[in-house]
């Protein structure tokens, strides 16, 4: 076999390697593909791209394909039946904070002309556009103002959906609006969720910019994960699995915690923490009674995201029995409310979805302060 390989040129050898192990070679920066996301695929062609959304909503049984085609191109016969979006998009309506943030990251905030709830926008650039009347509120699904959307003449309306042919999607399609149902929020991998910026890149024909951005996120995230792994090696935390972390707070008698395969559980794992419900094989939430949570996590070292509490006193207003948690008694309680504005704006749910590396850095600094001693929290703050 070795002698046979000597007869091939370097070009032929490369072709053979690509055919046998294509995953070993990186995708072109002009034709980027997700490496962590499970919900979409992009097939690039001359003048058009076929976008396949493999999971547009929970329990989706079949993929949805879209044709993203340049305005001056003839529609390929093989794709005439696909929903059509003309690119680059010039006018966009968004119905979720992370979808809005993607256009700011790609330096295209002027393309967004409508958003579901403009009063909850954190970004200063978009808030200025709202004040100037260039970004209009269109209402949140399922109560979106379809007439206002139609008046904005968007090239695409980006929405999330809880099921097939949601009421909002149906009404928009009836009105002749080009709708793209995005499943970014369903990704359980933090980097995978951020990779949906590649879809925005394809819509804007800024694939290179999107690829460069997400490559940086992937690299920084992996570096942080490796760093906390090295720092824990051989320590007490290495043997115990890290500090134990409690998440969320009870609401109306029920305490919902992330499942063991959820977005938050994955973040906690990568940040070197031990999560009491990591063994539950679900991406959704577990709905528990307070007593059950006390039994599992009363001795937790850290408590994050205690509802909408702004202080330690607020935590006890939820339920006085929450004082039993050692994390509360030690003051090790953190909320993701470091970047908020009046009206309910919270950047954790806007730009944060595109910055899993910075969220991971926050969590590492909370759980393992010796690893990132100079880090200043961006999305989280300690309750006093």
Per residue, the 3-state secondary structure of the chain, as one string, reads CHHHHCCCCHHHHHHHHHHHCHHHCCCCCCCCCCCCCCCEEEEEECCEEEEEECCCCCCCCCCEEEEEEECCCCCCHHHCCCCEEEECCCCEEECCHHHHHHHHHCCCHHHEEEECCHHHCCCHHHHHHHHCCCCEECCCCCCCCHHHHHHHCCCEEEECCCCCCCHHHHHHHHCCCCEEECCHHHCCCHHHHHCCHHHHHHHHCCHHHHHHHHHHHHHHHHHHHHHHHHHHCCCHHHHHCCCEEEECCEECCEEEEECCCCHHHHHHHHCCCECCCCCCCCCCEEEECHHHHHHHHCCCCEEECCCCCCCHHHHHHHCHHHHHCHHHHCCCEEECCCCEECCCEEHHHCHHHHCHHHHHHHHHHHHCCCCCCCCCCCCCEECC
Beta bridge mates, 87: 70
Q: What is the pLDDT of residues 243-276, one digit of tens each?
A: 999 999 999 999 999 999 999 999 999 999 999 9
Nearest to 293 by CA among 236, 251, 263: 251
By DSSP bridging, strand 40-45 and strand 48-53 are antiparallel
- pTM of the predicted protein model: 0.90
Q: Give the chain's end-to-end CA distance (angstroms, integer).
A: 69
Using CA atoms in the order 365, 366, 368, 369, what is the torsion angle rounded to 10 degrees? 60
Q: Which residue has the tokens 């009063």?
A: 119
Q: Distance (Å, rounded) from C-alpha 380 to C-alpha 58?
A: 29
Per-residue pLDDT at 340 exceeds 50:
yes
| Cis before 88 (ω within 30) | yes
Q: What is the pLDDT of residues 65-107, one digit of tens each?
A: 999 999 999 999 999 999 999 999 999 999 999 999 999 999 9
Q: How far is CA 376 from each of CA 79, 365, 381, rounded to the nearest angstrom? A: 50, 8, 10
Q: What is the pLDDT of residues 347-369, one digit of tens each?
A: 999 999 999 999 999 999 999 99
Above pLDDT 70, what percent of the chain?
91
Per-residue model confidence (pLDDT) at position 17: 35
Beta bridge mates, 112: 92
Above pLDDT 90, what percent of the chain?
82
Tokens representing residue 186 in the block = 């369903």
List, edge to edge, every strand of the sheet that includes 64-70. 40-45, 48-53, 64-70, 84-87
| Cis before 223 (ω within 30) | no
Tokens representing residue 65 in the block = 């394909």
List, edge to edge, every strand of the sheet that includes 333-335. 245-247, 302-304, 333-335, 381-382
By DSSP bridging, strand 340-341 and strand 40-45 are unpaired
Per-residue pLDDT at 22 exceeds 70:
no
Q: Distance (Å, rounded) from C-alpha 247 to C-alpha 363?
A: 12
Q: What is the pLDDT of residues 33-74, one digit of tens each?
A: 999 999 999 999 999 999 999 999 988 889 999 999 999 999
Nearest to 352 by CA among 267, 274, 279: 267
Domains with residue ranges and CATH for the chain: 28-213 (3.40.50.1980), 236-382 (3.40.50.1980)
């Amino acid at each position: 076999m070795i002698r046979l390989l000597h007869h091939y040129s370097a070009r032929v050898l490369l072709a053979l390697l690509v055919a046998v192990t294509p995953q070993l070679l990186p995708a072109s920066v002009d034709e980027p593909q997700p490496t962590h996301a499970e919900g979409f695929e992009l097939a690039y062609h001359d003048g058009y791209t076929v976008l396949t959304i493999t999971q547009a909503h929970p329990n989706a049984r079949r993929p949805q394909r879209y044709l993203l085609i340049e305005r001056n191109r003839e529609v390929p016969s093989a794709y005439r039946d696909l929903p059509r979006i003309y690119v680059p998009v010039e006018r966009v309506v968004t119905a979720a904070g992370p979808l809005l943030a993607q256009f700011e990251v790609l330096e295209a905030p002027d393309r967004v002309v409508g958003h579901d709830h403009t009063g909850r926008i954190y970004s200063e650039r978009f808030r200025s556009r709202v004040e100037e009347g260039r970004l209009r509120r269109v209402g949140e699904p399922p109560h979106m103002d379809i007439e206002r959307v139609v008046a904005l003449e968007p090239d695409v309306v980006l929405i999330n959906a809880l099921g097939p042919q949601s009421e909002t999607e149906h009404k928009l399609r009836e009105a002749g609006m080009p709708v793209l149902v995005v499943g970014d929020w369903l990704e359980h991998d933090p980097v995978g969720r951020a990779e949906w910026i590649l879809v925005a890149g394809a819509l804007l024909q800024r694939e290179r910019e999107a690829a460069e951005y997400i490559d940086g996120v992937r690299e920084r995230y992996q570096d942080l994960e490796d760093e906390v792994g090295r720092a824990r090696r051989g320590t007490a935390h290495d043997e115990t699995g890290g500090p134990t972390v409690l998440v969320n707070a009870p609401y109306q008698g029920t305490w919902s915690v992330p499942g063991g395969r959820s977005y938050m559980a994955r973040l906690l794992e990568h940040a070197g923490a031990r999560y009491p419900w990591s063994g539950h094989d679900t991406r959704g939430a577990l709905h528990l009674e307070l007593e059950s949570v006390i039994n599992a996590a009363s001795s937790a070292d850290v408590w994050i995201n205690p509802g909408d509490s702004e202080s330690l006193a607020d935590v006890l207003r939820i339920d006085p029995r929450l004082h039993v948690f050692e994390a509360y008694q030690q003051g090790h309680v953190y909320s993701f409310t470091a970047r908020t504005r009046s009206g309910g704006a919270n950047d954790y749910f806007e730009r944060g979805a595109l910055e899993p590396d910075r969220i991971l850095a926050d969590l590492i600094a909370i759980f393992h302060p010796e690893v990132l001693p100079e880090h200043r929290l961006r999305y989280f703050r300690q309750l006093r």
